[in-house]
Amino acid sequence: MNNFTFYNPVKVLFGKGQIAALATEVPANTRVLMAFGGGSIKKNGVYEQVMDALKSHHVIEFGGIEPNPRYETLMKAVDLARREQIDYILAVGGGSVIDGVKFIAAAIPFEGGDPWKICSEKVPVTKAIPFGAVLTLPATGSEMNSGSVITREETKQKLSFGSPLTFPKFSILDPETTFSLPLRQLSNGVVDAFTHVLEQYLTYPVNAPLQDRLAESILITLKEEGPKALQNPTDYDTAANIMWCATMALNGVIRVGVPTDWATHMIGHELTARHRPCAYPGHCATLAAALQARHQAGKAAAVR
């Protein structure tokens, strides 16, 4: 097993009714920027639950963070947050909203010019506004890690960054928030999580059987629960199992001490930066092609 350092400070509040905990998880007397995506939270009851829990807080809304969050959109949130002297951010949505909020959190206090340098020049984040998350789409694992991927439309770049300062302070995972997801989004999420596990598992053995078996258990659970969710998207236990699998797939636990790959995601980033398809269905095709290429090259890496 390779040497490793493991650090994950995210407090997870999992289960039905946990959104009400925002009332105490978001510090009192803060000016909160509530960031969300295309507005589905206004149709599925999540918005009401969030606003109800935050009724004693000063909340300013910022909607419209798109899938594959764009620098151009996020900088509008940064301007708003600076004007309104925001000192806490709440991401309500899926991985794109949470990734976007990580960038906003780091960009607000950034003093080195254009905050895009955090992505393009890997300028280290030395300050960030604290933030929490309410997850509504199990897929990316962003709710329990410090990584973020941002797209800049103008330059057709899709780049990642991460910092110990961009872990959410807390993440609320209520499986009921996923009941109204379109089936396509649900299956894309399962494929994304499945691919995350493979990127950390399908490399080469380093005698780390615990990590291998943890990875296998997530793969098996996703394979069992995914089809059930498509059959019955409002089954609480199925939704709960998928949600926790997606979080466990990318919170660092299965990555420690083993080699990781990420070629499928890196190729996917390049393709989506240029063509903007939904990233997740692409993973299947990219992964299959990458494995085939390795196999043809005779690399032992593809053989497990």
Closest contact distance (angstroms) between CB of 30 and Zn ion is 31
| Span from 107-115, 177-185, 190-198, 225-233 in contact with Zn ion (CB under 5 A) | 190-198
Residue 228, Cβ neighbours under 10 Å: how many? Answer: 15
Q: Which is nearer to Zn ion, 143 or 192 (CB)?
A: 192
* CB 192 to Zn ion: min, Å: 4
Q: Assess 143 for contact with Zn ion (CB under 5 A).
A: no
Residue 52 CB coordination number (10 Å): 12
| DSSP per position, 117-149 | HHHHS-PPP-----EEEEE-S-SS-GGGSSEEE
* Binding to Zn ion in span 240-259, by CB under 5 A: none
At its nearest, how many Å lie between Zn ion and the CB of residue 260? 13
Residues in Cβ contact with 259 at an 8 Å cutoff, skipping those fewer than 6 apart: 2, 203, 204, 206
Nearer to Zn ion (CB atom), residue 176 or residue 192: 192
Q: Is 192 in the site for Zn ion (CB under 5 A)?
A: yes
Determine if 176 is a binding residue for Zn ion (CB under 5 A). Answer: no
Residue placing its CB nearer to Zn ion in the complex, 129 or 254: 254
136-162 burial, b at 16+ Cβ within 10 Å, e below that, comes to bbbbbbbbbbbbbbbbbeeeebbbebb
CA–CA gap between residue 98 and residue 109 (Å, rounded): 18
Strand order in the sheet with 170-173: 11-14, 170-173, 131-135, 88-93, 31-36, 58-62
With CB under 5 A as the contact rule, which of the stretches 124-132, 186-194, 205-213, 236-244 interacts with Zn ion? 186-194
d(CA 88, CA 65): 17
Report the nearest approach of Zn ion to the CB of residue 63 (Å).
Answer: 23
Residue 256 and residue 212 in contact, taking contact as beta carbons nearer than 8 Å:
no
Report, in Å, the least distance between residue 167 CB and Zn ion.
18
Count interface residues toward Zn ion (CB under 5 A).
1
State which residue has the least CB distance to Zn ion.
192
Find the binding residues for Zn ion in span 113-142 (CB under 5 A). none
Nearest distance, CB of residue 69 and Zn ion, angstroms: 13
Site residues, Zn ion (CB under 5 A): 192
